[in-house]
Structure 1
């Protein structure tokens, strides 16, 4: 790599570190959001650089107590006597990420327009529904889901109960779109993403734009910014969240009647199917519940759904009173 390439890489890393610190401030506004999204889309190198800085930030955050003791064993007075080392461009983005890791982020609950009416949307077993909001936002609501929507003057707010939905949010820089989901709040300006809250587990998958997931006012944990092709998984009550790559088209496939799984526990698959079938499915024991399942299930006729599941997994189905029992073979 020549000197010019190194300089370009340093510039991209510096910009990524700047955006990381900028987006972690408590006073982030919609201009910041739109600028960050535009920067990410300007070059394929930008999301990769941002992910690299974010990974470093997370590593430094985990190591912060030990680093503080190692770098400053003599206390503040000794630190004040030591001159700072020279700093080149390649170190600047590293330091910026480290400073961001040390920052405390204050969660601010936005003002709510309490006079704005709240609308509740729900779907029954096997029912999917498309909702078009007055602001132009589209919500595709999965089976067995319930959420409420309030379109206020200063913000648009959704409260997810037990639900899964794909949101295609209309851009409105004056009104952020907020989704309260357990002990996490999802924030966007205009983007497309899937939010799934089932049995205390939250998953957010992004297809377009930038999505912020941060702890609710009374919860602990880090704020995460998700870019396209990334998924966050979080167990409510935990301070931790896991972020990984994900194919959004697979996650969104439930809208066309297909459920796609990659190495998921059979318990989760059965819970999903029970939102579609009339006769409940039940795992026979914990061993069966923990079996890992990968495959595509087309949700149509109940008997065919069960047949496909049995063909793809090492299980047998046994009709019982009012349920279909699934047992590992």
Structure 2
């Protein structure tokens, strides 16, 4: 709606001259948002202020002696002609410029944040991000897993240094370090842009953007396990036993080792869905034909 139209029906309403169409326009505008209602109350307070408030301004009395008295309604129309456009500019600016909010992840393991559009973000401790109401996020540092609500009309954007991630609705992980930002897709499709080029990632793929050059690289493979810290689903597809043990160690906050290091290069395809460490190790033991020992200080996997 044009600002001039808003100004017309607001002034008409406050002056008592609004017709049926203008009254309907006002009600529709007020119902549109709390911001509009707040602005209307501000304008109304100014409209209803006693004329004496302005008489206190320096030089006002002298000015009034030189002009012919006018009706209060006509005088306020002149004041409104100046004040309301200024308030409309203020309203237009604050309703179109996105307001950014900052969130710092707390907790020892992971934190979560519900964004205004209903998307959910899981964050590792110390991660800092900014977000607004327009499905835009800036990852300042750390690591975050995004479960994005699908909206075909509005792209979801994540910026992490030189990296820009664009999605409509999917789940993916973003980690930002001083040297690079990497993106791993859990499901759906993600576009990752650097300074000059972009790549499309699908489930399991990883994209890396150099924070110095802005170059973007695509790593095709099975990297879903990098999302396990957030969704508690560790999925490995033809990965080495060493990688599996390292990821389990990080996920369960223990140190897993093998007495026989010759088996570390053996490939594993396995999935752990929200289970205790003991159950995960039991499944791994059966799959790999290894025995599990649990020393006091560490968990150890040995042949």
TM-score, normalised by the number of residues in structure 1? 0.46
Q: Which has the higher contact order (CA 8 A, sep 6+)?
A: 1
Larger Cα Rg: Structure 1 or Structure 2? Answer: 2
TM-score using structure 2 length: 0.49
